[in-house]
Amino acid sequence: MNVEGDSVSNEPPLVQLRGLTKSFGAVRALTQVDLEVPASQVTALAGDNGAGKSVLIKTLSGLWAPDSGEILWQGHPVHLHSPKDAEHLGITTIYQDLALCDNLDIVQNMFLGHEPLRLGALDEPTMEIAARKTLADLKVTTVRSIRQPVASLSGGQRQSVAVAKAVMSKARLVIMDEPTAALGVAQTGMVLDLIKTLSDQGVTVLLVSHNLNDVFEVADRIAVLHLGRMVAVGPASSFDTQVVVDFMTTGRSTRFSGDERAADLQN
Amino acid sequence: MSIRLPSALTPEGTVTDGSGPDGEETKRSAVLEAVDRFGDYWMLGVFVIMVLVFGFLSPSHDLFTRASWLNISQYAVEFLLLAIGQTFVIITGGIDLSDGAVLGFTGMVSGVVMQSLLNAHTNVTLTTVAGFATALLLGAVIGFVNGYLITRLKLPPFIVTLGTLTAIGAGATPLINGGNEVINLPSQIGTIGQTLIGGWIYVPVLVAGLSCIFMGLVLHRTRFGLRTYAIGSNGMGARRAGIGVDNHLVRVYTISGLLAGLAGMMVMANFTDASPLAGQNDELNAIAAVVIGGASLFGGRGHMLGTVVGTFIIALLVTGLVLVGVSGSWQEVATGVIVVAAVAGDQVRLRLAER
Ligand SMILES: Nc1ncnc2c1ncn2[C@@H]1O[C@H](COP(=O)(O)OP(=O)(O)OP(=O)(O)O)[C@@H](O)[C@H]1O
Ligand SMILES: [Mg+2]
């Protein structure tokens, strides 16, 4: 059932899900899901509406405990009882509905929850310097002032701030749920560039997206969920758009040319 | 157009999505930003105009006298202390309707405690200290209970603090000392109220001023202040950023209660008695002061300087109307109009921002 990718290095994947199952009453949101997320790569999670993508990432970010199955972090089983636990490991999730505070400025948003102090007060100079550097590292250049409230930013800029916040908190794994959903062409390009920059810097990205153009542009690996089951996982090169669509809509594809079974047997 | 309720009217955390428009290029026009900025400072202009109007309307320009300043500043003390706590509460998107009642209740309890200590021949200074401790502690405890009910039982702040207002203001306070004023107080209480510093500042005014500066620094310069804004701006976002939202809210309501207890003592010092009528309806004036000062009942906005100006606008309105010979009910009408106007202004600002 499960097909696994080309994780040939002997380093364990950053995250590994084994037999993850989650139900809501009679609804089986996830059924025996296996997935490997290798470090420093972009893994795209595709699937139709209701396939279970959001449930999967919410489990990974500690919002929901799975009914059964386990989560391995760098090869070791972990129990995520709360978002705090996930954050401690270095998992940051950027949700569809952004978690930014409109009334606060960019710097304040980036440091919210991790504010540096000096003599009991906020250390504004340190905050500004670090914020500027992080944004520059991410090649975010379009914001006029890092002291403007995020309410005045465009959708893509807001995504950038959310990502910068994640980087700031030393995230190892950044999970993004539909980061381009509300964006136009230029803004989407900006966010995709951001994702590439992130992974160039060694941050692992798990990207949830409906948009297959986006997926093929940035993903190293693709995983497809169908009705709560993981129906295909493999390097992006072993898929094309039609194959992914087949998997998303029917759960199978006759044209899939991965060598994934072999990897699966190794486990 | 849908009508959004301030989150104070709904259980905490349910309306606080605040993710805002996510569309392409949500640029706000320069006009809008100007309106926005103006929205923060219009009250300064209003204040100056009021000073001029009342000053020149009042017979022989009474407003521009030291006596009138002493009068207004002394009158403003209780509203200022309540408004400081209210500023924090309103920025979180909540409301504290109980602070006037807490003022009256803590004053009465403290008065009775001091009276019995004096009757038992306790040292006068010790009695005064005990009186202050009682009021501050009691205020903090009531605020804590407010915050606890709001966060743990997920009840709307409006309902919880209205309940506290009714239970304490209408229920408990009139029972204390048979509903009579407590006049047998340590002499120091009166001394505090009547001591003038440098001829211009009464001690309670100084206390309120220092509280304002201290809490202003807390609001604008510390982690606690930043998180207060974050919670009011986007409660869910604050939670995701790892902030203990519930504990923070409990602390904010506790501060509001504590300051109401302090206000109770200052009112007592001003009048040299503890009255069961003290603080009645003060909550509305305090809320008005905060909203006039640029805070939004939807949370996330407000600042301490605005609250100070807002408080003096209210104080000036009442004393100014007295000076120009308008009295009694008309003052109440004027305050009511100002409150509604300020809240309406808040709504308009929000609509403009959402367009
Ligand atoms: N809190 C919940 N309670 C009950 N059922 C839920 C809950 N969350 C998700 N589900 C169900 O789990 C299934 C998977 O939902 P999920 O939100 O993960 O889909 P998705 O793949 O993210 O879809 P979309 O692309 O529309 O975001 C759906 O049938 C959904 O109704
Ligand atoms: Mg989803």
The arithmetic mean of pLDDT across residues B160-165, rounded, is 97
Backbone angles phi, psi at A223, to 5 degrees: -125, 135
Residue stretches of chain A with pLDDT short of 50: 1-7, 259-267
What local confidence, expressed as pLDDT, does residue A101 receive?
94
Residue A133 amino acid letter? K
**Residues of chain A contacting B, Cβ within 8 Å:** 83-84, 87, 93, 95, 97-104, 108, 112-115, 117, 120-122, 151-155, 158, 165, 182-184, 186-187
pLDDT band at B32 (very low <50, low <70, confident <90, very high): low
3-state SS, residue B182: strand
**Chain A residues inside the 8 Å CB shell of B229:** 101, 103-104, 108
Q: Kindly report the average pLDDT of chain B as a whole number.
A: 87
What local confidence, expressed as pLDDT, does residue B44 receive?
84
| CA A54 to ligand 2 center in whole angstroms | 4
Q: Residues near B279 by Cβ (< 8 Å), separated by ≥ 6?
A: B78, B99, B100, B101, B102, B103, B104, B107, B169, B260, B263, B264, B267
Which of A27, A35, A178 most suits a substitution to test ligand 1, by most atoms within 8 Å of the C-beta? A27
The arithmetic mean of pLDDT across residues B297-310, rounded, is 94
3-state SS, residue A265: helix
pLDDT tens digit sequence for A209-227: 888 999 999 999 999 999 9
Interchain CB distance below 8 Å, A103 and B300: yes
Find the residue in A nearest to B234 (Cα): A101
pLDDT band at B344 (very low <50, low <70, confident <90, very high): confident
Range(s) within chain A of domains with CATH label 3.40.50.300: 1-90+172-267
The arithmetic mean of pLDDT across residues B230-253, rounded, is 94
Decide: B80 and B208 in contact? Cβ < 8 Å. Answer: yes
The correct CATH number of A1-90+172-267 out of 3.40.50.300, 3.40.50.1110, 3.20.20.80, 3.40.30.10 is 3.40.50.300
Q: How many CA atoms lie within 13 A of A36 on its CB side?
A: 24
Which of A21, A22, A24 most suits a substitution to test ligand 1, by most atoms within 8 Å of the C-beta? A24
CA distances from A56 to A178, A229, B14 (A): 14, 11, 24
* ipTM score assigned to the predicted complex: 0.81
Using a 6 Å cutoff on CB, does residue A207 contact ligand 1? no
Decide: A229 and A31 in contact? Cβ < 8 Å. Answer: yes
What local confidence, expressed as pLDDT, does residue A262 receive?
31
Roughly how many angstroms between the first and final C-alpha of chain A, as a whole number? 14
Task: Name the region of A207 (left: φ>0; alpha: ψ -120 to 50; beta: rest).
Answer: beta
Decide: B116 and B95 in contact? Cβ < 8 Å. Answer: no
What residue's CA is closest to ligand 1, atom 22? A54
DSSP string over A170-235 = T-SEEEEESTTTT--HHHHHHHHHHHHHHHHTT-EEEEE-S-HHHHHHH-SEEEEEETTEEEEEEE
| CA A58 to ligand 2 center in whole angstroms | 10
Shortest Cα–Cα distance, B219 to chain A (Å): 10
pLDDT tens digit sequence for B39-78: 567 778 888 998 898 888 887 777 888 988 999 999 999 9
pLDDT tens digit sequence for B2-28: 334 444 443 333 333 333 333 333 344
**């994947």: which residue's tokens?**
A13
Find the residue in A nearest to B26 (Cα): A154
CB-CB: which of B27, B217, B243 is closest to A113?
Answer: B243
**Residues of chain B contacting A, Cβ within 8 Å:** 17-20, 22-28, 33, 217, 221-223, 226-227, 229-230, 232-234, 236-238, 240-243, 300-301, 353
**Chain A residues inside the 8 Å CB shell of B22:** 98, 155, 158, 182-183
Backbone angles phi, psi at A44, to 5 degrees: -100, 135
Q: Which atom of ligand 1 is nearest to the CA of A25?
A: 4
The arithmetic mean of pLDDT across residues B282-303, rounded, is 92
C-alpha B276/C-alpha A142 separation (Å) is 60
3-state SS, residue B223: helix
